[in-house]
Structure 1
Amino acid sequence: MNLLRKSLLRYATFFLFIFLIGNGVFALRIVRYPYLQNTTEDSLIIVWITDQNGDSLVEFGLTPELGQEANDPTSTTRHAVQLSGLATDTTYYYRVKTNGQILSEIESFKTANGADNPYFTMTIFGDSGEGTSAQHAVAAQIAAIQPNLILHTGDVIYPNGADFFYNARYFDIYRDTIKAVPVFPCLGNHDYLTSRGGPYLRNFYLPDNAVVPEHKGRYYSFNYGGAHFTVLDTELVPGGVGNADQRAWFEADLVAAQDALWKFVYFHRPPFSSGRHGSSISIRNVVAPLAEKYNVDYVFSGHDHTYERTTPILDSAPSSKGVLYLVTGGGGASLYDVGRSDWTAFSGKFYHTSKVTVENLILTLESVDSTGEIQDSFVWRKGVLVSSISNQTGEPRPDAQVRVLIGARQRAQRATDGDGIALFYVAEGEYALEASAPGCQTQIIEGVRIQAELLTEVPVSLSCP
């Protein structure tokens, strides 16, 4: 009798299980809400995670009625669908499905601005992933800013970058922002502690333009609204930013970006800092000379849990015209004390995100603390310098090289185009201009005055015997 009861109970349990599945009681669930990755002018990736395997489908369109689809039939719990052929600087609506089941509300995103529309807002922060009340407060300020894109300066997940913590200490906290705004992060030292950043590389779908295959996603670059962004890996083994492959890629990337209106570089460990960790001299020795040579505007970092903005720096010293550096490591982890150095313009110990607004030739930086107060602000204005290089008979020299100098220091270098013209975007101030071409005498023009937001034309006639 007991055996019969056990058999009946076993069959009843089995049929109940089948009934529950058929009626959706054990339906597939979303365990990570959609987030945007690698937004460009005409494409982006939408990512979500489910608790069961299934296909991946995104419905999208120019209105909430949607009307278009992109899908991947592969059965998986980690879903990543690329939308391509999109219009630049355009708002789209979307929702995600797996196995025919709608898993999100209708959300929206905007594609990246092109170079002809250099107007955007970004937020920059780092050292965030402890799940603290401070992290939640900073996240609320980021959401209130409504940026076009977000940069993260590393240490996304404490204590060790483990996948286990990603939902609670990142995705859940920023969910309502990252469903509409792309985040472009870099690796921090804590992110490296699990499989040398393996969970980070699985969770973020980043540009894969690093030349060495095993370095893809560790350092990369992208464009947005006329600006060029270069992201480095300070933790790369061996050598960090001094790794031969990464350094060569870094310089080649800056060379290719010389036409960008703004050039930003960011990574985790700071080359200039008055905080607990202080300046990384090895990183400074690699980054600063290249940043100066190729006219980088701003270098962002974290690692020190502080806020510190420098004056322009040239040759490791304060200057009226040089590269600006920012430590913005107050994203949520416990704060550090911070002092001042001779190149410090402002420093403070407070939770924050850095808001940067680009409006053509004007950049405005505001440090927004966890209560929404602005603790520091700064405006950087550029002018346009156009030099037309010809020989003494008036023929253009497309083979000329032009350098912009501050004293004897090179600030920027450019080859002329087919019409013998070189174009520079530089800060307001006085410069010298050096022009040279094969078979011609080098000419230096002193006292070239650049005014903010204005165009200055400097014709140069070379003597070419």
Structure 2
Amino acid sequence: FELDRPAPGWLLYRPVLDEEQGWWAIPLAEGETVYQMPLVGLTPGTRYAVQVGIGEALETLRAPRLFGAKWGPVRFTAPALGEPKLRFGVVGDSGFGDDKTRALIELMDGYDLDFVLHTGDSVYNIYEESSPAEAYAKKYFSMFAPLLLQAPIFPVLGNHDFDLPALADGRPYFVRAFLALADPSVPSSALGTWYSFERSGIQFIMLDSAAFHGSGGRGEQTAWLEERLADPSFRFSIPVFHTPPYTSGLHRGDGNALRLDWSELFEAAGVPLVFSGHDHNYERIERDGLTYVVSGGGSPVLYRKTQPVGGSQQFHARMHFVLVEISDVRLSLTAIDLDGKVLDRAIIPTRPG
């Protein structure tokens, strides 16, 4: 987390359901504004509350504020060991900060999600605000607060993260807003732009598709992706990145180079499902034994179909999110629009990675 200025304080956390359990307290380092603080002693499957407290004494702490509203506590569930079930959401291209996006986020909040995947372009038109920090605070952190206070959100870079107003010290402000954990498998120059995480034995590979449009690191990232896909310790892998390899929408040709480098790797590794955004619509495409989902309907700025791509099963120019439910025997997805209407349902076949 980041404060706007250095302040004395503490990071507090405890189990949500154990009101008799006191708060564990970790002091904030003096003179700092950016913090990355590991929580220790968590019990798998247990839900926790976490609160930043500003002040010298534990008895008089106050919560930080974002645009005048108290921030926190944040609640999350420590991943359960051996639990095969997952329920997560997917949304993308939400970055205009409008009321309809807020309504979609509030709808998602009612689905008791374990986490959310964001397919990129989490903040648009940064030039409308005084700084990238203010733009992210207004159009992302404040907008997504109902979800962020209940479950983690894992984002990927979008093409608009490389717009000049979106840069800070020559890099996308994204990498400061979403501070990366140290990962020895990722070059230091790429930390925060591509990463992976595991839940319920499934590997989620979060990629930077802008590498195919001049941001750099294309070869390094593809080599890293190949290594991640070759790891046999996961049930299967789900890649997530912004530019779709296949689409019937406005940006039909933007994923051509990416498709040449990555699609065969996905096929060889038995990847069942790939998520992207970039086109502001919903589309499900089946190609070469894979399901490709375009989920870029996080705002009311929507794109119509241009030319149908081979394998397209469903296309909707509607605001939406995707609900994904995984058990030990089934992977299913449901696309849900802003009114709560089901746009699409599908069972996705899987095979061990």
The alignment's TM-score, normalised by the length of structure 2, stands at 0.86
Greater C-alpha radius of gyration: 1
State the match for 1:180 in structure 2: 150
Equivalent of residue 278 in structure 1, options 236, 246, 252? 252
Q: Determine if contact 2:94/2:123 at 8 Å carries over to the other structure.
A: yes
Q: Determine if contact 1:57/1:81 at 8 Å carries over to the other structure.
A: no
State the match for 1:463 in structure 2: none
Counterpart of 1:113, as a letter, is A
State the match for 1:123 in structure 2: 89
Separation of aligned partners in 2, 1:94 and 1:66: 12
State the match for 1:357 in structure 2: 325
Equivalent of residue 228 in structure 2, options 253, 264, 273? 253
Separation of aligned partners in 2, 1:263 and 1:99: 44
Separation of aligned partners in 2, 1:212 and 1:54: 32
Superposed displacement of residue 52, structure 1: 3.7
Q: Determine if contact 2:74/2:148 at 8 Å carries over to the other structure.
A: no
| 1:219-368 paired onto structure 2 within 5 Å | 219-236=194-211, 243-256=218-231, 258-279=232-253, 280-311=255-286, 313-314=287-288, 322-332=289-299, 334-339=301-306, 340-368=308-336
Separation of aligned partners in 2, 1:136 and 1:93: 24
Establish whether residue 216 from structure 1 lines up as the match of residue 216 from structure 2.
no
| 1:92-107 paired onto structure 2 within 5 Å | 92-100=48-56, 101-103=61-63, 106-107=73-74
Separation of aligned partners in 2, 1:354 and 1:303: 15
Report the CA distance shift for 1:304/1:260 in structure 2 as closer, same or farther (over 3 A): same
Report the CA distance shift for 1:53/1:85 in structure 2 as closer, same or farther (over 3 A): same
Equivalent of residue 118 in structure 2, options 138, 147, 152? 152
Q: Determine if contact 1:125/1:153 at 8 Å carries over to the other structure.
A: yes
State the match for 2:31 in structure 1: 75
| 1:427-438 paired onto structure 2 within 5 Å | none
Report the CA distance shift for 1:224/1:151 in structure 2 as closer, same or farther (over 3 A): same
State the match for 1:61 in structure 2: 14
Superposed displacement of residue 239, structure 1: 5.3
Counterpart of 1:348, as a letter, is H
**Unaligned ranges ≥5, structure 1:** 1-46, 315-321, 383-423, 427-465
Q: Determine if contact 1:207/1:222 at 8 Å carries over to the other structure.
A: no
Q: In the TM superposition, what whole-angstrom CA distance separates every residue of 1:246-303 from its partner, at most 9, and x where no partner exists? A: 11111011112x3312310010100010000114110111110000111111110000
Report the CA distance shift for 1:156/1:107 in structure 2 as closer, same or farther (over 3 A): closer
Q: Determine if contact 1:127/1:333 at 8 Å carries over to the other structure.
A: no
Establish whether residue 140 from structure 1 lines up as the match of residue 120 from structure 2.
no
Q: Secondary structure at the match of 1:70?
A: strand
Alignment root-mean-square deviation, CA: 2.2
Separation of aligned partners in 2, 1:371 and 1:242: 40
Q: Determine if contact 2:94/2:297 at 8 Å carries over to the other structure.
A: yes
Q: Determine if contact 2:75/2:151 at 8 Å carries over to the other structure.
A: no
Q: Secondary structure at the match of 2:29?
A: strand
Establish whether residue 204 from structure 1 lines up as the match of residue 178 from structure 2.
yes
Superposed displacement of residue 111, structure 1: 1.3
Of residues 358-367 and 92-101 in structure 1, the stretch that sits farther from structure 2 once superposed is 92-101
Equivalent of residue 87 in structure 1, options 43, 47, 67? 43
State the match for 1:108 in structure 2: 75
Q: Determine if contact 1:233/1:241 at 8 Å carries over to the other structure.
A: no
Separation of aligned partners in 2, 1:149 and 1:206: 17
Q: Determine if contact 1:66/1:93 at 8 Å carries over to the other structure.
A: no
Q: Secondary structure at the match of 1:252?
A: helix
Counterpart of 2:223, as a letter, is A
Q: Determine if contact 1:55/1:76 at 8 Å carries over to the other structure.
A: no
Q: In the TM superposition, what whole-angstrom CA distance separates every residue of 1:304-351 from its partner, at most 9, and x where no partner exists? A: 00100012x11xxxxxxx111000000115100025322001111000
Q: Secondary structure at the match of 1:375?
A: strand
Larger strand fraction of residues: 1
Superposed displacement of residue 83, structure 1: 1.0
| 1:375-394 paired onto structure 2 within 5 Å | 375-382=343-350
Report the CA distance shift for 1:295/1:285 in structure 2 as closer, same or farther (over 3 A): same
Q: Secondary structure at the match of 1:74?
A: coil
Q: In the TM superposition, what whole-angstrom CA distance separates every residue of 1:386-432 from its partner, at most 9, and x where no partner exists? A: xxxxxxxxxxxxxxxxxxxxxxxxxxxxxxxxxxxxxx628xxxxxx
Q: Determine if contact 1:61/1:68 at 8 Å carries over to the other structure.
A: yes
* Percent identical: 27
State the match for 1:457 in structure 2: none
Separation of aligned partners in 1, 2:213 and 2:313: 33
Q: Secondary structure at the match of 1:246?
A: helix
Report the CA distance shift for 1:218/1:294 in structure 2 as closer, same or farther (over 3 A): same
Number of residue pairs matched by the alignment: 328
Q: Determine if contact 1:130/1:333 at 8 Å carries over to the other structure.
A: no
Q: Determine if contact 1:227/1:261 at 8 Å carries over to the other structure.
A: yes
Q: Determine if contact 2:105/2:146 at 8 Å carries over to the other structure.
A: no
Report the CA distance shift for 1:349/1:362 in structure 2 as closer, same or farther (over 3 A): same
Of residues 51-60 and 127-136 in structure 1, the stretch that sits farther from structure 2 once superposed is 51-60
Q: Secondary structure at the match of 2:30?
A: strand
